[in-house]
Amino acid sequence: MRGGRIDFSETRFVSESYFDLLGEPRRPSRGDVLYSVTGSFGIPVLVSTEQSFCVQRHIAILKPASQMLSGYLARALGTAAVFRQASNVATGTAQKTVGLKHLRKFTVPVAPLPEQHRIVEAIESYFSRLDEAVATLERVQRNLNRYQASVLKAAVEGRLVPTEAEVARAERRDYEPASVLLKRILHERRRRWHEALGPGKCQEPVAPDATELPELPEGWCWASVDALLREPLRNGHSARKAVGGHVRTLTLSAVTERDFSEANTKLTAADGRQIRDLWLEPGDIFVERSNTPALVGAAALYRGPRRFAIFPDLLIRVRPAKGMLPLYMEAVLRSPRVRTVFRQAAQGIAGSMPKISQETVGGLAVPLPPIIEQTRIVAELERRLSVADEAEASVTMGQTRGARLRQSILKWAFEGKLAYQDPNDEPASALLERIRSQTSASHQSASDADERPRRRHGSRSFVRAEKKP
């Protein structure tokens, strides 16, 4: 159920024998309304296909009475007023669920049947134009994503600004190559880690295998993330949100949205001794070690104040060494090559989120330029990406306005302000009376059928079948 439609591109299959044993109420058909009741609850979708399919238990099937326009009911269930009803009765912690007993009691405004047709026609007319605008915004968003990826790719391949080797030749001077910088970083790393971990406990970082890596510009060299760290990689705190919690903790959305504001934090109860080393510092980079396949490995640089919050267990902290600009390290971790590495390395057990390990992050090959060149790369990156960020903010604002306008249209429609009201239409009260009579007769027929012996359905579990139509 995506974008107001049924999407069959990512479905699982059950055997035909299982489907044949399902009763008619559990088989969606054209004109039914699907309604999500678990997790992202409150999403209605009208079934407009003749294709045979079944749904998992997180989706309710509503079969409107023959006297009720299906499209009208689907749009009514999508209003903010109905979503508030769902929110008020949803229960659960990890995933909120709306029980069917509550769903049956939801109230929607009912218009005379001819007016239902006019309302749906008016809604579809407005929504079709709104969908065109939203599709345009989505195209702009995709183009911005491609632009950002291309800028990051050029930055870490030495194509965004003139290399230090080129500048030095033009100015007839020497320069310090990245190999010298790397030796200095490694020397400082040994000293710091020797003091922190004790004699003999500081392991030398393994140099990445450059045989399958692209050729670097003159003056650059390859190094692992582990070699470029001021401190070892660290997972965060596993404390959960708690009533009365007093420690502000980042959520994954802080990295996903690249927004480290208070809105992307929660309060947890934590032992001060356990979190002493988990407070945020400016220049820290955080990598999502678990999320959806598209988001796992997402990285973001923290630029806020010290001790603003701690970070959770699902994030890996990267603290670059002196001589490694955090903004450049962030660019490497966000670059298309690294994102591909993370996605390929992510592993998950069936039913769980994909995960990457500290070893994956620490062993990652980093194209290291001279420190002066890093400074120029970062300055140009900031300039170009700030323009893209402003454009992206405008797109997001447009999408937000589109969502609000969609709700406004539904609100006007079900307040009787969108379509013409004909005083000659049969009143809705008469329509409801016929629906009640029809429903009563259907229930009586079902009760009579229940008294007859029924064939047992056997196991209710889903049976996987070969992936074919």
DSSP 217-233: PTT-EEEEGGGGBSS--
CATH superfamily, with its number, for domain 201-369:
DNA methylase specificity domains (3.90.220.20)
Q: Are 290 and 296 in contact (CB under 8 A)?
A: yes
Q: Do 1-111+451-469 and 201-369 agree at the fold level? A: yes
Residue-range domain boundaries for the chain: 1-111+451-469, 113-176+371-421, 201-369
CA distance 376 to 382: 10
The predicted structure's pLDDT at residue 351: 55
Cα 399–chain centre separation: 16
The predicted structure's pLDDT at residue 120: 96
Query: What SS3 class is residue 355?
Result: strand
Give 465's Cβ-side CA count (13 Å radius): 13
Given CATH 3.90.220.20, say whether it is the number of domain 1-111+451-469: yes
Phi/psi of residue 366, nearest 5 degrees: -115, 125
Q: pTM, whole model, 2 decimals?
A: 0.77
CA distance 152 to 144: 12
The predicted structure's pLDDT at residue 245: 67
Distances (CA, A) of 291 to 256, 264, 351, 353: 10, 16, 12, 6
| Partners of 267 in the β-ladder | 248
| Partners of 287 in the β-ladder | 299, 316
Structure tokens at 366: 């980093």
Query: What SS3 class is residue 325?
Result: coil
pLDDT tens over the chain, length 469 residues? 887 889 988 788 999 999 999 988 899 999 999 999 998 999 999 999 999 999 998 999 999 998 899 999 999 999 999 999 999 999 987 789 999 999 999 999 999 999 999 999 999 999 999 999 999 999 999 999 999 999 999 999 999 999 999 999 999 999 999 999 999 999 998 888 777 777 666 678 878 877 889 999 999 999 999 999 999 999 998 876 665 568 899 999 999 999 999 999 998 887 777 788 999 999 999 999 999 888 999 999 999 999 999 999 999 999 999 989 999 999 999 999 999 999 999 876 655 788 999 999 999 999 999 999 999 999 999 999 999 999 999 999 999 999 999 999 999 999 999 999 999 999 999 999 998 888 776 666 655 555 544 444 433 333 333 333 3
Of 51, 52, 46, residue with least CA distance to 32: 46
The predicted structure's pLDDT at residue 148: 96
Query: What SS3 class is residue 195?
Result: helix
CA distance 321 to 328: 12
Phi/psi of residue 287, nearest 5 degrees: -115, 130
Region for residue 14 given its phi and psi (left: phi exceeds 0; alpha: psi -120 to 50; beta: otherwise): beta
Contacts 24+ apart (CB under 8 A), 431-437: 431/67, 431/68, 431/110, 431/112, 431/113, 432/110, 434/67, 435/65, 435/67, 435/68
Q: Are 307 and 233 in contact (CB under 8 A)?
A: no
Torsion of CA 61, 64, 66, 72, to 10 degrees: -130
Reading across the β-sheet that carries 285-288, which strands appear in turn?
234-235, 315-318, 285-288, 299-301
CA distance 82 to 73: 11
Length of the chain: 469
Place of tokens 């769903």: 103
Q: Are 302 and 284 in contact (CB under 8 A)?
A: yes
Place of tokens 């980079």: 285
Cα 388–chain centre separation: 20
Q: Are 122 and 413 in contact (CB under 8 A)?
A: yes
Q: Are 367 and 156 in contact (CB under 8 A)?
A: yes
Phi/psi of residue 389, nearest 5 degrees: -65, -40
